[in-house]
Amino acid sequence: MKLLLDIGNSSVNWASEKKSQFFSQGSFIYDKNNFENSLEKNISLTKNVSKILVSNVAGLEIFNSLGSWVKKHGPLELWQSCVEKKFKGLKTSYSETQQMGIDRWLSMVAGWEKHQSSLCVVSCGTALTIDSVDSKGNHLGGYIVPGIDLMQKILIANTEKININIGNNPSIDYASDTKTAVNNGAFFASVSIIDRVVNKLSTELGGMPKCIISGGNASLIKPLLEHRFEYEPNLVLRGLLIAHNTSI
C-alpha cells in the first residue's frame, strides 16, 4: 500500500492507495513551524504502508521534516516527483523545468492521461493557477495570481481603513458593505480571469478545451463560472500516482 501526499503552501491532501484505488483520504492545514507534529496528528502510518509518494511545493525544510517523520516509522521508501520535459506526448513550455510548481505539472499529467485533448487546468489554492494545453500536448503556458484568501489578506494588510476578517462566501453580486465588497471582489476577480482564459484558449484552438478545476476553493468557484468545468478534488494525487507508475 502507498501513501500519497500533496504538500501545498498551507495544507496537505493525502490518500492511501492500493491497486490504483484510493480507499482513504483527507486534508489538513499544517503548522509550518512544526510540520512533523501536523503529520503525526493527522496521518496514521500503518504497517501496510510500504512507500510514500510526494508532491511538494513548500520547500526543502518541509521536505526534510517529512523525511524525519518517516524515519521514526521505520524503513519506508520516500519517492518525490519532479517536473519532466515530456510525459506521453505532454510537453512543458518551461525551458527551466525546476521553476514550475510540481502540483501544476502533475495536474496536467492527470488531465492529459485521462482526456488526451486540449486542456484548461485550474487549481484554486493559496495561489490560483491556470494552465493551457493544446490538442497535441503542448503546454502553451499559464498564469499565477493570488487565490481567494490570499487576495483578501493582501488587500486587508495593505490598506488603512479595511479592517475586517476575510470572507469565504461564493458571490459576485454587487456589495453594499466593505466586508462583502472585498469578498465578492476576490471571487469576481478569480472567476473573471478563469473565464477569460477559457475564452482566449477556445478562440486560439478553434474549439472548447476540456476544463478541469481542483484545489481547496474549487467547489466555491466552480458554480460561479460561465464555462463548464469538471471538478477533480484529487487531481494532483492522481497525477502523482501516474507519474510514479510510469517511472518504475
The pLDDT tens digits of the residues spanning 69-126 come to 999 988 889 999 999 999 999 999 999 999 999 999 999 999 999 999 999 999 999 9
Question: What is residue 127's predicted lDDT score, i.e. its pLDDT?
Answer: 96
Q: Structure pTM?
A: 0.94
CA atoms within 13 A on the CB side of 33: 0
pLDDT of 45 above 90 = no
Residue 248 confidence class, pLDDT cut points 50, 70, 90: low
Q: Give the amino acid at 97.
A: T
What number of other Cβ atoms are within 10 A of residue 223's Cβ? 10
Catalytic site residues? 103
Q: Is 140 left (phi over 0), alpha (psi -120 to 50) or beta?
A: alpha
Long-range contacts, 172-175 (Cβ 8 Å, 24+):
172/224
Residue 217 per-residue DSSP state: T
**Which cell numbers hold the place of 13?**
491532501
- The total number of residues written for the chain in this structure: 248
